[in-house]
Structures are given as C-alpha cells and as structure tokens.
Structure 1
C-alpha cells in the first residue's frame, strides 16, 4: 500500500510538471483509432485493451475526489445500471460508463458523465499519454488517463489540478497493467485464408472473362463455345466422381471387369 501511494505521488508530480493544463487532442494520423468502447489501435498494430480490467460485468471502479468529496463510478467496456440508488439519473436509459455522485446536506445528486457511445480515445504525443475522453451535453469533459503499472491491482485516482477543474474538466488516472500498450489483434483484419480466397476468386473471374473475350473476338466462338477449356469443364463432374470412388476404395485402383464376365456383358 505504501509503495502504491509513493508511486501515485511521483506519477502525479510528473504529470503536473508536464504542463497538462487543458485537453488538446493530437492529430488524427498519430491517434489511437477506437475499435470499441475499451480498445483502440495505432497504425503500427499496437494499442490499448481494457476488456479484462473488470472481472465481473456489473462491478465498477470507484474513487473519491479529495477536494470536492465527489464519488466517481467507472465501468469502461459497457454501460451498466447498477448503483446504490436505482432512481439515479446514471441508471436511466442504457445506463452509464462514467457517473459522478455529489453530496450536499446528506442529499445525493448523480450526473451521467459518459457512456460507451460518447467515449473516444485521444493521444498526447508530447507527454506520451493516452486518454479515454467523455463529454457531456454542456461541454463538461472527463478524461481517463491510462497509466501503465506492472504487477499491481488496478485502481483510479482523481488528479488534483485546479486549472483543469476551472475549465470544467476532470482528469482521472487509471493505474493498471491493462493500461499498458499491447499488440491489438483486430478481428476485421484479413487472415491468410481470406487473402487466398480473394486471390482465388479474383484469378478465376479474370481467367474466364479474359479467355472468353479472346475466344469470342479472335476465334469466332459463339454460345457455350466461348468457355475456355470447355471439354475439361464438361468432364469435371465425372472426374470428381472417379476421384471420390478412388478415395472410398482406400486409394486403390479398381480393376477393370473381365470383358467376358457377366458384369461386362
């Protein structure tokens, strides 16, 4: 616990010393492209994956702002409705990804700060940092800064930056081994099999198209005769049948019947 607090203090000091005064997204060419609510990918195939951050779907991470005493509830990969009060605005609709609870005179007020649909990833190249960004309808911005920490439990902490809070922005530090950059395997990327299938069908289409045009224009073929290697394609069903019989017979050649036998007659 003492090590975590020391690490937290050092990182916070470095971040404040880096001049983070207002959130400015980086150019699109260097940004981490959003794949889904908790995954993003850089052009080189690396990126961030927070999908394993929480073990239980309905669980959430929480932290208290030491200055305002506000509580923040964070569930990165999907919207959830679970809170202590089911009447809270955060639990309405599809639920929340990021919610804030403000208490005044023992009365709780909840504010939905973000959902999976409103989340985005943004990069800060000057400080080599990646952020999850949430914006409300009244332009209030909350950033989740991804801080890579190996071999430790994941937790969040509200950064005490008065300049950011004056600009209606709160920065929450996410300390986690899942906040470390990793290799992203995007499902939409083509596999070797997909590439081979595309090449096969493209080559087959080009073969029939070009050969049919040549036979039609230069050899005067008409109708079914424009098909290249027509005799082969006509014999193909019989060849497939013979191949199937060959495999069924244990890859042995079936002897020809005696021409004088009853079967031959």
Structure 2
C-alpha cells in the first residue's frame, strides 16, 4: 500500500510535465475555422468573425484591431478608408494596414503556441499574433510592442481557452477533458487513495499514533532537504566543495 521513493519521484515528474501536454509542433492554416489544424486538434477563432479584437498601446495610445477571419473596412467620413485584417489607428482620421487576411500564414513557435503572421498589402508592415492556450480562461487580446529595431513590425497576443486545440474542429472553449486534465485527475485520485489507505494501514495494522500514521513519513520529512541539496547541486554545476584543492 506504500509508494517507494522512486514511485513518488516518478509521479511528481509526471505532474510537472503535464503543463506541456498541449504544446503543438505544427499549425496548418484552416480557412473554415479562421484558425489552424494541429496534431492536438483544431484551434478555431471563427466565433470572432463578426467582432474581432481591439487593444491599445499604452505608450502611444494607438489602437490596434484584428479580425482573424477576414478583412474589414475602417475610416471616418471624408477620409480614405483602410481595408485590412489588422489595422493601426493613429486617430479617427488616420489608419494603416498592418496585415491583410489573404497574406495570413500560420505556424507553431518553439514554446508550442500557434502564431498568425500577416503582411500589409504594400508589404511595408507586418503583424504577429501569438495564440497562447490557457484552459478555462476567458480570451484576452493584447498589443505587446512594435519592434524597436524594425519599425513596422507589430507583436500582439491572444491568450485564453480559444487558443487550446479542440478535437472535432470546435468553436473554441472546452469540448471535453484534455489529456492534461485527465492526468491531473488521475494523479490526485492516486494521491488521495495513497494517503487515506496508508493512514488506515498504519493505524489499524501497525497501531501507529499521531504523525506516525502518515505513510512513508521518513520520505516526506526528507523531501525539503533533498530539494535543498538539489538546488545546491544545480547552482554549483555539480562541483563538490568538500575537498581541498591539491
């Protein structure tokens, strides 16, 4: 009924690895969902086809608009309108094309996020929107920055549940439990069974009392010291300071 040190270590490593199970390595453009297809499922932004996103740069107060599904037209009366998928608004009288929908390209970055790239019609401006999965969270669109070394390149992000791949080409939002959610549930169920079952055995069979009823007590009391030693070992790059130099 008791877990060995190696079993506990394996379980902890598995738990830490769960955060990466939704990472993707490819993102193939999909016009039907305004998103992309990945090996984990489909990222769909179609529900934003009629409203898109909007955020402002706190430094300049410029406003940035993005519609992931199509080009839209913006402009005031008497001012030449701008039609694009991503638009920069300097004022109500001045707008710039930062990316047209027909130039949209999708990919996955090194962190496993979906990335949307767009060029303006005249190719003088470029926009990059990184779509970060955060299960169960509302979608938040943010203007990040303009590249200081290459003016005209704009970085934005969309973070939330919609950026999580869904099986069956969903419209965003959870279509069921992800692999990470299932592993978390299994991990905590096993942990509860281990603790409760272990305490019962310690109390009934071994007649233990007080804190001695905790299963593998010596292991858990040693964990803080093991973590401390691990940090020291990592910081010292594995070099021992227990010997005098010759």
Q: TM-score, normalised by structure 1?
A: 0.47
Unaligned runs of 5+ residues in structure 1 are 1-29, 187-265
Task: Give unmatched runs, 5+ long, in structure 2.
Answer: 1-24, 171-246
Counterpart-to-counterpart distance in 2, 1:89 and 1:152: 39
Alpha carbons of 1:134 and 1:156: their partners in 2 closer, same or farther (altered >3 Å)? same
Pairing of 1:40-79 with structure 2 (within 5 A)? 40-42=36-38, 44=39, 46-53=41-48, 57=50, 59-79=51-71
1:62·1:74 contact (CA, 8 Å) conserved in 2? yes
In the other structure, the counterpart of 1:138 is 123
CA 1:140–1:79 in structure 2 vs 1: closer, same or farther (change >3 Å)? closer
Give the drift of 1:178: 0.9
Residues 104-161 of structure 1: CA deviation (Å, up to 9, x unaligned): xxx731001122211110221x22221111112234221111022333432311114x
SS in 2 for 1:170: strand
Does the Cα contact within 8 Å between 1:49 and 1:184 map onto a contact in 2? no
TM superposition shift of 1:39: 2.1
Correspondence 1:123 to 2:108: yes
Residues 102/129 of structure 1: CA separation in 2 closer, same or farther (3 Å cut): same
8 Å contact kept, 2:42–2:169: no
The question of whether the paired residues in 1 share the 8 Å contact of 2:35 and 2:68 is answered with no
- Asked which structure has the greater CA Rg, the reply is 1
Distance in 2 (CA, whole Å) between partners of 1:98 and 1:157 is: 13
Secondary structure of the 1:173 match is strand
Q: Distance in 2 between matches of 1:86 and 1:155?
A: 31
Q: Provide closer, same or farther for how the CA distance between residues 181 and 86 of structure 1 changes in structure 2, counting only shifts above 3 A.
A: farther
- The answer to whether the 8 A contact 2:56-2:63 is kept is yes
CA RMSD of aligned residues (A): 2.7
Q: Tell me, what secondary structure is at the counterpart of 2:148?
A: helix
Summarize the Cα distance change of 1:146–1:138 in structure 2 as closer, same or farther, 3 Å threshold: same
Larger relative CO (CA 8 A, sep 6+): 1 or 2? 2
Conserved? CA contact 1:134–1:141, under 8 Å: yes
